[in-house]
Chains A and B, each alone.
Chain A
């Protein structure tokens, strides 16, 4: 069993609910224990740094200080939280004047932060700690023939914390492949969905979402498989109807988070994979896979 401190981030309690549910569903079969950080507060996200950069670091530092007490890696599925936590973590170490201000503010609430937390994205954890081979060994419902466009988005790979390629990443492709699926070429896989502007400048965001859906369709994808970021998933799934009304695009592209795809391949049922939460229903697309009986896991998996 592997243990992690888990930081879901605010969106996972609302729009990201299906992604969150699928993460929790696959943790156990993958021998992962995600221990939710007690009494966590928001990371601040980019809007807070646009209101006050220093206070934003203070807000993020509370999360880091709480996490440090657990002694475990801090894992988040939200790409925005990931970048914000990483940036604050680096700044507190590099900028001594800032670190001093933050230290004082934290001490007012009885917290300290020594800079020892390792911040990780759950996609990176799935890729490096479990790995495509580890996933393949647990597949009981291979997704053979399913053409998927793997969408990594921005902040999982940029500004780049030394993991996947920041221009053309392929971790999701490798994992989807290990589940039996067939990742299509998808040039816009690391382009932005614009979700940070989807409320205040919705035309700009809808245009970006349209480009992504179009690119996936042009490359014959039957569905999109996204990073676990709740903002990416919501943009592509929930706002697809807005794209259709504006561009008369007629998209009916199911959008599964990678953790939902893993859940299906691991043999969980439709509900356990949190698929009823998806606005664009993947029911018809996945029906053939759910119709066939999950194969028994081989007792020995020599390839793993």
Chain B
């Protein structure tokens, strides 16, 4: 990352992310939107998301709920006739939105952050801790609704209450820090 970032277009910014480089080869055929498992919930469907990136309409796109409904089912990616990997582009866009402080209308942003914090702090996702923190941050009342399910998981021995100690956590932190120092993208 350097001074050049200021002159970089939104399209360049996206295309420079891992697995997002083929975005320019999109022919707007709409197979991605037609295949998308959750397209009815997106303010802009996957095909439109790609069009908005290419038109440089960053704010319109990243303020919307689009991209955050991607369930990583990879139907778009398996079917795309230009092999542009739309699912990877959606996750790439998510990372730009989070880094640049956009606040799209979804709780998935908080879920992603809490999930990732759990990895950084524990080396692995510690499911009970992650869910507990997520509900505290978003809606503690929703956590009350989740109690029956949590109890069911507990009684079926599917929800350990304490995180395992993972030696590799320190290494993981070092790797992450190294990659921040070198400029995230």
Contacts and interface: CB of A to CB of B under 8 A. Distances in A.
Interface of A: 10-11, 13-18, 39-42, 44-55, 57-59, 61-62, 66, 80, 83, 87, 91, 95, 98, 101-102, 104-106, 108-109, 111, 154-155, 158-160, 166-167, 191-192, 194-197, 199-201, 204-205, 208, 234, 238-239, 241-242, 276-279
B77 A158 contact: yes
Contacts of A59: 119, 172, 175-176
B72 A54 contact: no
A195 to B, nearest CB: 8
A215 to B, nearest CB: 14
Nearest to B98: A51
Contact of B91 (A41, A49, A111): A49
Given A10-B125, A54-B18, A277-B158, A41 B112 contact: no
B156 A14 contact: no
A140 to B, nearest CB: 27
B182 A104 contact: yes
Give the top 6 A-B pairs by smallest Cβ distance, nearest first: A50-B94, A192-B73, A158-B74, A200-B111, A105-B178, A10-B125
Contact of A39 (B18, B107, B168): B168
Contact of B124 (A10, A98, A111): A10
B108 A200 contact: yes
B63 interface: no
Contacts of A51: 94-95, 98, 112-113, 116
Contacts of B126: 10
Interface string B68-81: 11011111011000
Interface in B85-115: 85, 87-88, 91-92, 94-95, 98-99, 106-108, 110-113, 115
Contact of A50 (B112, B124, B176): B112
Nearest to A61: B175
Contacts of B71: 154, 192, 194-197, 205, 208
Given A238-B149, A277-B156, A277-B157, A15 B182 contact: no
A58 B176 contact: yes
Contacts of A205: 71
A46 B167 CA distance: 23
A58 B179 contact: yes
Interface of B: 17-20, 37-38, 41, 68-69, 71-75, 77-78, 85, 87-88, 91-92, 94-95, 98-99, 106-108, 110-113, 115-116, 119, 123-128, 131, 134, 138, 148-149, 152-153, 156-160, 164, 166-169, 171-172, 174-176, 178-180, 182, 184-185
B178 A50 contact: no
B125 A42 contact: yes
A201 B106 contact: yes
A11 B126 CA distance: 8
| Main secondary structure on A side of the interface with B | helix
Most buried by A among B37, B92, B126: B37
Contacts of B124: 10, 13, 40-42
A164 to B, nearest CB: 12
B115 A47 contact: yes
29 contacts: A13-B160, A15-B159, A18-B158, A42-B123, A42-B172, A46-B72, A46-B91, A47-B116, A50-B98, A51-B95, A52-B95, A52-B98, A52-B99, A52-B179, A54-B18, A55-B176, A58-B179, A62-B175, A91-B18, A98-B18, A200-B138, A201-B106, A204-B69, A208-B37, A239-B149, A241-B152, A276-B156, A277-B156, A278-B156
A15 to B, nearest CB: 5
Contact of A53 (B107, B153, B182, B185): B185
Nearest to B127: A14
Contacts of B180: 55
Contacts of B176: 55, 58-59
A62 B171 contact: yes
A57 B19 CA distance: 11
B81 to A, nearest CB: 14
Nearest to A8: B124
Contacts of B178: 58, 104-105, 108
